[in-house]
Amino acid sequence: MFLTRSEYDRGVNTFSLEGRLFQVEYAIEAIKHGSTAIGICTSEGVVLAIEKIITSPLMEPTTIEKIVS
């Protein structure tokens, strides 16, 4: 019995017949669509910074939140 593509999608450690890990491929594609982020941990706390990309003049920059406190 052969598994369909959706059945290979269920586990991160389930290889397809071609040796592919679909969950890893999906994660890589999601990263490509995201913005740049960096986190720095110091002895006094943590600093998180992101790149805020405005893709449309209709977007309100103050409404875009990647890091929510």
Quick one: pLDDT at residue 50?
Answer: 82
**67, 51 in Cβ contact below 8 A?**
no
Question: In this predicted model, what pLDDT tens digit does every residue of 39-65 receive, in sequence order?
Answer: 999 999 999 988 877 778 888 877 777
CA distance 8 to 20: 9
Q: Which conformational region is residue 7 in: left (phi greater than 0), alpha (psi within -120 to 50 degrees), or beta?
A: alpha
Quick one: pLDDT at residue 1?
Answer: 46
Residue 41: helix, strand or coil by DSSP? Answer: strand
Q: Which residue has the higher pLDDT, 67 or 56?
A: 56
Count of all residues that appear for the chain in the document: 69
CA distance 25 to 14: 12
Quick one: pLDDT at residue 45?
Answer: 95
Question: In this predicted model, what pLDDT tens digit does every residue of 2-47 receive, in sequence order?
Answer: 455 566 566 777 787 888 888 888 888 888 877 788 999 999 999 9
